[in-house]
Amino acid sequence: MYAEALSVTWALTNLTKVAFRRPRPIAYIDRLDAIAGGQDPATYDNTSTDSALSFFSGHAANAGAVAATATYLAFARAPGTTRAWLTFAAGIGLTSFVGVERVRSGAHFPTDVMAGALVGAGVGVLVVHLHRENGERKVWVGTAPALGGGGTIALSGIF
107-140 pLDDT tens trace: 899 999 999 999 999 999 988 888 776 655 555 5
Q: Which residue has the higher pLDDT, 151 or 105?
A: 105
- Could you list the residue range(s) of the whole structural domain that residue 45 is in? 2-157
Per-residue pLDDT reduced to its tens digit, 56-112: 999 999 999 999 999 999 998 888 899 999 999 999 999 999 999 999 988 899 999
What are the distances in angstroms from CA 140 to CA 7, 29, 83, 136, 159? 21, 50, 33, 11, 12
* Alpha helices (runs of H) in 78-143, residue ranges in sequence order: 82-104, 110-130
Q: What is the pLDDT, as a whole number, of residue 3? A: 80
- Please give the tally of structural domains in the chain: 1
Per-residue pLDDT, averaged over 8-34, amounts to 83
- Based on C-alpha coordinates, what's the Rg of the chain? 21
Contact 67, 6 (CB under 8 A): no
Q: What is the pLDDT, as a whole number, of residue 131? A: 78
Label residue 53 by pLDDT band (50, 70, 90): confident
What distance in Å separates the CA atoms of residue 120 and residue 62, rounded to the nearest whole number?
Answer: 6
